Amino acid sequence: MDRTHYQTPLSSRYASEEMSYNFSESKKFSTWRRLWLFLAKAEKELGLNITDEQIEEMQQNLNTIDFEFVTEEEKRTRHDVMAHVHEFALRCPKAASVIHLGATSCFVGDNTDLICIRDAFDILLPKVARCINRLSDFAVQYRSLPTLGFTHMQPAQLVTVGKRACLWINDLLMDLKNMERARNELRFRGCKGTTGTQASFLQLFDGNEEKVKRLDELVTSYAGFKKNYLVCGQTYSRKVDADCLAVLASLGASVHKVCTDIRLLATMKEIEEPFESTQIGSSAMPYKRNPMRSERCCSLSRHLIALAANAFNTASVQWMERTLDDSANRRITLPEAFLTADIVLNTLQNITEGLVVYPAVINRHIMQELPFMASENIIVAIVKKGGNRQECHEIIRVLSHEAALEVKQKGLDNDLISRIKNHEYFAPIKDEIDSLLNADTFVGRAPNQVLEFIEAEVKPALEPYASQLRGKAEVNV
């Protein structure tokens, strides 16, 4: 690694090898050459004077790129595509005359971007599926474990640990479906010429529109796409980029929410992310167990969310058939968005594979609040014994306020139940009070909701990824 120049942490520190390669210069420029090969093959098939020898020469030199020559050539020409055309032509002297024939720079630039976006989605989708799968296992395991629910970040009715995990899964399922849609709706730019009219190709084929249309179809098929954009300017619409990055930003929002919840639960010591035996939480405080993985996910998710604005701003200023102020922006925004999404999914998978639950702490927190929540059950029990609801309600209200003062002003445990047991009014139900505090009776249908949700929503969504759900995610730094 060159430590004398800035390198993005996304590739040098965090992202997977597969995603880093997908946006590498090696992938990009070898794809340019493949596109020139696809174009020449299609033009040959449609009758242009291109030989098998020329096609073979191009085929043999798809990966023999002299990057030093290209760098110097680009300095001279101020044009990256022509620098590579010249370098490829030197490698393929017999084919030099047919390389880039009829094409504009966006033939290789835009089509390569679409290939890389498609391939990037193919890397991300199984990772989303794995995170959903790990959380589903977790949800089923803890579907019946009661825990405090929170609204306004204040204790509310009980839920279960597994039911809360289903809220996380539900968001990720939306992301999975949105990403599948964005990926499957991607089209190829194809062979459209300088302003999208295909005029140069029409000239090549002596005005034969059917051959021009067939050329577009052939190259699209060679590149692995089923459809191309029937209309475009010099570039494909930058709303395509905006759509893809919006989907990734939405994923970022989901991951941020999941990991924020985990961070809050870690503060309460109810749930923790994995923590290695040699891991250091703080350089100054050796006792700390910081949720650094979840914090990283939140940090990078914010970056992912912010990147979407770039794509929308770029789409909004593509005057007429295009302007070049998209270029420098997209060179940064597109790779960073997919690299960032890749990192947060790798990290989230690692988190979900090692979540630690502390039932005793969870129960202690429940018992600090459950006496207040059980008041309605106690009122009903008294009424069944012939008591007056309003009278009972007033007595519990007074006792609840007394207990709350003990908790808030003196830091003592919630003793409302003891106060109720010791009050003569509740003597008729004294033996029933403990059973009325069974936390399992306060979670409603949560355990069955988990099972129903997994069966109806999760399993069908994960079925296409059944062969890709294995393997653990490692976090190296």
Q: Pick the residue with more confidence: 116 or 378?
A: 116
Q: Is-catalytic flag, 365?
A: no
pLDDT in tens, 388-408: 999 999 998 899 888 888 888
Please classify residue 4 by burial: count the beta carbons closer than 10 Å to its beta carbon, then call 0-12 exposed, 13-18 middle and 19+ buried: exposed
Instruction: Assign 376 a pLDDT band (cuts: 50, 70, 90).
Output: confident
pLDDT in tens, 44-53: 999 999 999 9
> 60: domain CATH number?
1.10.275.10
Closest C-alpha to 187, from 239, 240, 246: 240
**Cα distance between residue 144 and residue 158, in whole Å:** 11
Per the residue annotation, which of 12, 26, 282, 435 is the catalytic one? 282
The answer, yes or no, to whether residue 109 has pLDDT greater than 60, is yes
The tokens 């008591």 sit on which residue?
A: 387
The answer, yes or no, to whether residue 277 has pLDDT greater than 60, is no
pLDDT in tens, 21-68: 999 999 999 999 999 999 999 999 999 999 999 999 999 999 999 899
In a shared domain, residues 139 and 267: yes
Six token digits for residue 283: 């350089």
Instruction: Give the domain extent around 88.
Output: 10-98
In a shared domain, residues 134 and 281: yes
> Any idea which of 71-80, 130-139, 247-256, 410-419 has the lowest mean pLDDT?
410-419
In a shared domain, residues 266 and 135: yes
Per the residue annotation, which of 152, 277, 283, 467 is the catalytic one? 152
In a shared domain, residues 273 and 414: no
Domain end residue (candidates: 98, 118, 146): 98
The answer, yes or no, to whether residue 284 has pLDDT greater than 60, is no
Q: What is the mean pLDDT of residues 123-135?
A: 97
Closest C-alpha to 137, from 475, 468, 462, 474: 462
The answer, yes or no, to whether residue 334 has pLDDT greater than 60, is yes
Q: What is the mean pLDDT of the chain?
A: 91
pLDDT in tens, 163-203: 999 999 999 999 999 999 999 999 999 999 999 999 999 99
In a shared domain, residues 134 and 239: yes
**Cα distance between residue 30 and residue 471, in whole Å:** 30
In a shared domain, residues 143 and 237: yes
The tokens 């594979």 sit on which residue?
A: 353
The answer, yes or no, to whether residue 289 has pLDDT greater than 90, is no
Does residue 2 lie within any of the structural domains?
no
The answer, yes or no, to whether residue 447 has pLDDT greater than 90, is yes
Question: What domain count does the chain have?
Answer: 3
pLDDT value for 89: 92
**Cα distance between residue 212 and residue 330, in whole Å:** 29
In the chain, what percentage of residues exceed pLDDT 90?
71
In a shared domain, residues 273 and 322: yes
Alpha-carbon distances, residue 67 vs 63, 84, 85, 195 (angstroms)? 11, 9, 12, 30
Instruction: Assign 142 a pLDDT band (cuts: 50, 70, 90).
Output: very high
Closest C-alpha to 84, from 92, 147, 295: 92
Six token digits for residue 58: 């191009």
In a shared domain, residues 258 and 145: yes
Does residue 210 lie within any of the structural domains?
no
Of these ranges, 64-73, 160-169, 361-370, 418-427, the one predicted with the greatest mean pLDDT is 160-169
The answer, yes or no, to whether residue 287 has pLDDT greater than 60, is no
In this prediction the pTM is 0.89
Q: Is-catalytic flag, 282?
A: yes
